[in-house]
Amino acid sequence: MTSNSNHSDSHTSVLHETRSFPPSAEFVANTEVNADVFAQLNREAALDLDAFWCKRARDLITWEKPFTKGLDESNAPFFQWFADGTLNVSYNCLDRHLATRADKTALIAELDDGTVEHISYQQLYERVCRLANGLRSLGVQAGDRVVIYMPMVANAVVAMQACARIGAIHSVVFGGFSSKSVAERIIDAEAKVVITSNVGYRGGKTVELKKTVDEALTQTGSLIEHVVVFARDDSQTNMQAGRDIWWHELTAKQEANCQPAWVSAEHPLFILYTSGSTGKPKGVQHSTGGYLLGAVQSYLWTFDSTMDSGTASKHHKANDVFWCTADVGWVTGHSYVAYGPLAAGATQVMFEGIPTYPDASRFWQMIEKHKVTIFYTAPTAIRSLIKLGADLPKRYDLSSLRILGSVGEPINPEAWIWYHDVVGGGRCPIVDTWWQTETGTQMMTPLPGAMACKPGSCAQPLPGLSINIVDETMQTAAPRESGTLVIERPFPSMVRTLWRDPERFKTAYFPEEFGGRYVAGDSAMRDEDGYFWILGRIDDVLNVSGHRLGTMEIESALVANHLVAEAAVVGRPDALTGEAVVAFVILKGARPTGDDAAEMVKVLKAFVAQEIGAIARPAEIRFADGLPKTRSGKIMRRLLRSIARGDAITSDISTLENPAIIQQLQEK
Ligand code: WTA
């Protein structure tokens, strides 16, 4: 593990936060999990963790063949759960609802241009079956990998569910990633089929998804046998004969029923690539049974819902409309769009566009229009909407809301209070959920009916999760002392391995000195009430607008440019995006100045966007003749972080190999 948190000083405001917001008496009276139930759940889990999860796996999942054993630790840290049980995720999300609520709306899908489509569970089931049959007709079998590169339309979920139905392992790639990133993921996963769309729309702009796939496939040899292309509209795209097939043609003659593939609970459901401490993204591999259990159970707890919320007796839950704004390209869109809410039989909104188009009231308009009751979004969206129109929510009727949620990065108390007061009308608890791609599902959050919220704190672990903060001696950190966040015991939804890289899995998450504990990569502290506060990453991962970016990944992208000799990337705090990417670049030729430097900045920013995707584009690039290094040749990243922040350099730089370049790096 690398040094301690490099971001903690930017969170001092959080550490002085003392406000506390208990749920209203009305909320508590109607909650599924009040403080007593929460305490009871924790006692039950403490008594017998395995029995605790087995009971929930039986209650919440329909098994084809029941499991006889919960946790298997014999091959730690490659833990298994419910391994001899068989099930199908798509069956659990669709088929089992049909007898009682076939006509209930599963998806309210709103496109960028405002067109809305309501899709019932029956209709969703039929679409999924047709595509699943179509994929089978192309030769896709259980265990094959399918890359999904789609806009945020209903058919993105259909594609994921269709893969799950036939046991194919999907790897969704966010639509903003470049052709090179798509190619890398196809190659690493050895995918056979790509499912994409001719185009997508975001904020009125066309996203040429199929064109990007075509570019990617020039780099992937003969791996990809077929590309299934959803016609989002009638935009033209090049269709390569024999390889490319339109979704509507593939599915036109397929049956609206499809026998699900019953797979072991340990069968991989999906791979999702995420950034780590090296230049190469990690293929986080999730299971079928444990993952589904985590997704549905956390959905029910965190969002105070019941299975079959369509027939819930408790008042407003019968009409709950859930909206998670995350794209299916991220883990949040997997667990709280594609799987959790559907397994629970909920109605949810899906949105193709962006929060600021046609203007910054889009979210509020949609909450009013679709009577959203539970709204789950990212702090970066909240901050940008404050900036662009703090008063806009007041123009809409947001009284349907009962719970607000936050995910992906720390939410600063100012944004929290605005979200609470202006969006939530002061009446909605805010579930600030801490978790990761690797944990699969939510780990910590204030349970809305069981405890008070504190702005900026993710409160406490959900029942059945043993989360701790340890100091350098591996002892539990004292209250208010920062340390490394660890998870002590296995849990059902955790990452199973890194795709075809078990060694990296072990070293990345179970470093020896931590004695078998899962190391999350975050630093944190606990206050006197046992509330957790996340302080930042302890590795070289940045969090820009809630998206994980590896500094090494961006550095390798920069040095891939023939003009670049060396590059170092660090983060600096940003009021809007949480962190911003700052790159220090050494060119092969002379250090550019003036107009030349400005031109070079443009070229390199565009280059990074092309190599990785627009989300990785540096906010700032500075040039120098060299990087600050110790005499042993190590780049002094801490120094670079201070420079990026514009802090005065107070530390001793006399050990530097080349102290004179500090001034160059400080020049903008
Ligand atoms: C950060 C997103 C503070 C954290 C679900 C974690 C958070 C990383 C929160 C995972 C939160 C996520 N408060 N920080 N509520 N949620 N993070 O894999 O650093 O994209 O390790 O998963 O985001 O990002 P990932």
Write out residues in the chain with pLDDT < 50, as ranges: 1-11, 310, 312-313
Select from 546, 551, 545 the least CA-distant residue to 577: 545
CA–centroid distance, 548 to ligand 1, in Å, is 8
436 lines ligand 1 (CB under 6 A): yes
DSSP string, 544-598: ETTEEEEHHHHHHHHHTSTTEEEEEEEEEEETTTEEEEEEEEEESSSPP-HHHHH
Looking at residue 318, its pLDDT comes to 67
Ligand 1: residue whose CA is nearest its atom 5? 436
The number of residues making up the chain comes to 668
CA–centroid distance, 204 to ligand 1, in Å, is 29
What is d(CA 123, CA 342) in angstroms, rounded to the nearest whole number?
13
615 lines ligand 1 (CB under 6 A): no
274 lines ligand 1 (CB under 6 A): yes
Across 536-567, b (16+ Cβ under 10 Å) vs e yields: bbbbbbbbbbbbbbbbbbbbbbbbebeebebb
DSSP string, 387-405: HHHTTGGGGS--TT--EEE
Ligand 1: residue whose CA is nearest its atom 8? 436
Ligand 1: residue whose CA is nearest its atom 12? 408
548 lines ligand 1 (CB under 6 A): yes
Q: Which of 430, 435, 493 to mutate to test the pocket of ligand 1 (most atoms within 8 A of CB)?
A: 435
CA–centroid distance, 634 to ligand 1, in Å, is 29
432 lines ligand 1 (CB under 6 A): yes
CA–centroid distance, 436 to ligand 1, in Å, is 5
What is d(CA 539, CA 408) in angstroms, rounded to the nearest whole number?
16
Kind of pairing, strands 444-445 and 460-461?
Answer: antiparallel
CA–centroid distance, 613 to ligand 1, in Å, is 20
431 lines ligand 1 (CB under 6 A): no
Ligand 1: residue whose CA is nearest its atom 11? 434
CA–centroid distance, 485 to ligand 1, in Å, is 12
408 lines ligand 1 (CB under 6 A): yes
Ligand 1: residue whose CA is nearest its atom 6? 436
CA–centroid distance, 409 to ligand 1, in Å, is 5
Looking at residue 403, its pLDDT comes to 98
What is d(CA 268, CA 143) in angstroms, rounded to the nearest whole number?
8
Tokens of 310: 């369509």
Neighbours of 6 (CB within 10 A): 21
Ligand 1: residue whose CA is nearest its atom 13? 410
CA–centroid distance, 345 to ligand 1, in Å, is 26
Looking at residue 276, its pLDDT comes to 84
Tokens of 562: 């023939």
Ligand 1: residue whose CA is nearest its atom 24? 436
CA–centroid distance, 381 to ligand 1, in Å, is 15
332 lines ligand 1 (CB under 6 A): yes
532 lines ligand 1 (CB under 6 A): no
